[in-house]
């Protein structure tokens, strides 16, 4: 990726290489599409197809990570400590990437799944102990307030949303950016549903104005909210 220009800086390259996604991998993740028992029942053709599926999934994931990492590295404020809100942090992989990208700034990471938050804390503490003073992990709803008004320079969202909720705009500083996936309105059939999502940077240019910038088409899942019923 560095040779073809996708990774533009040495810093981004080092962060990407240093952070192994397999450390954070959930056995039920799409990046782990089969287990040992399934492999034993596969014929050679099925095994080859499964390997290609995994390779394609890894490639897509890597391209998205590189795009986000590069954007954060290029757009973070040049002065003062950076504060980044990581919503839907899941396994903690992007938390590790983002914490390195803005170091010595602070990452506040939240997810509705308490087990994932606990697992993320365990891996981060073991693999990135030096970053832990700059990482706050919490179990929380992405659509609820996670910080004070205009307290974050960047908000990264680890899932797709239909629109930016008001609570995110309120927490974002003027000049800051939301990085999230939205329905790709240009990529849909005549009668069919929307296909895929567009990873987009949305700049808060003023207290009332948002400027969206398309980055790339991605395969994301919708950001979930907790069920309190």
Segment (H or E) for 139: strand 135-139
Separation between Cα atoms, residue 95 and residue 13, nearest integer Å: 17
- By C-alpha distance, which of 7, 117, 120 is closest to 69? 7
pLDDT at residue 31 in the model: 43
More confident residue, 113 or 39: 113
Burial of 159 (0-12, 13-18, 19+ CB in 10 A): middle
The pLDDT confidence band at residue 176, using thresholds 50, 70 and 90, is: very high
- Could you tell me the two tokens for 207? 């207290």
- Is the confidence at residue 192, as pLDDT, over 70? no
Look at residue 2 and tell me if it is in a domain: no
**Which residue pairs, CB below 8 angstroms and at least 24 apart, start in 54-61?**
57/30, 57/31, 57/33, 58/21, 58/31, 60/218, 60/219, 61/21, 61/31
Look at residue 210 and tell me if it is in a domain: yes
Domain count, the chain: 1
Separation between Cα atoms, residue 22 and residue 12, nearest integer Å: 19
What pLDDT digit, counting tens, does each position of 13-68 carry? 888 889 888 888 765 554 444 444 454 565 666 656 655 555 545 555 677 787 88
What pLDDT digit, counting tens, does each position of 7-18 carry? 667 888 888 889
Look at residue 5 and tell me if it is in a domain: no
Length of the chain counted residue by residue? 229
Give Cβ neighbours of residue 167 (< 8 Å, ≥ 6 apart).
143, 144, 145
Look at residue 71 and tell me if it is in a domain: yes
Which CATH number is 213's domain given?
3.40.50.150
Cross-strand bridge partners of residue 135: 107
Show the domain range for 156: 10-218
Look at residue 224 and tell me if it is in a domain: no
Count of C-beta atoms within a 10 Å radius of residue 124: 23
Instruction: Classify 197 as helix, strand or coil.
Output: strand
């Amino acid at each position: 990726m560095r040779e073809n220009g996708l990774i533009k800086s040495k810093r981004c390259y080092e962060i990407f290489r240093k952070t192994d996604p397999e450390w954070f991998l959930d056995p039920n993740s799409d990046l782990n599409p089969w287990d040992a028992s399934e492999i034993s029942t596969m014929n050679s053709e099925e095994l080859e197809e499964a390997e290609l599926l995994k390779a394609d999934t890894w490639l897509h994931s890597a391209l998205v990570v590189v795009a986000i990492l590069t954007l954060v590295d290029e757009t973070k404020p040049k002065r003062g400590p950076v504060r980044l809100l990581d919503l839907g942090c899941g396994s903690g992989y992007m938390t590790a990437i983002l914490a390195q990208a803005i170091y010595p700034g602070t990452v506040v990471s939240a997810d509705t799944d308490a087990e994932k938050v606990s697992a993320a804390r365990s891996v981060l503490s073991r693999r990135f102990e030096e970053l832990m003073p700059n990482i706050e992990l919490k179990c929380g709803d992405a659509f609820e307030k996670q910080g004070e008004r205009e307290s974050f320079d960047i908000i990264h969202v680890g899932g797709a949303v239909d629109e930016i909720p008001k609570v995110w705009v309120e927490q974002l500083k003027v000049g800051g950016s939301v990085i999230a996936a939205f329905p790709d309105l240009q990529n849909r059939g005549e009668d069919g549903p929307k296909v895929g999502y567009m990873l987009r940077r949305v700049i808060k240019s003023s207290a009332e104005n948002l400027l969206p910038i398309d980055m790339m088409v991605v395969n994301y899942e919708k950001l979930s909210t907790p069920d309190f019923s």
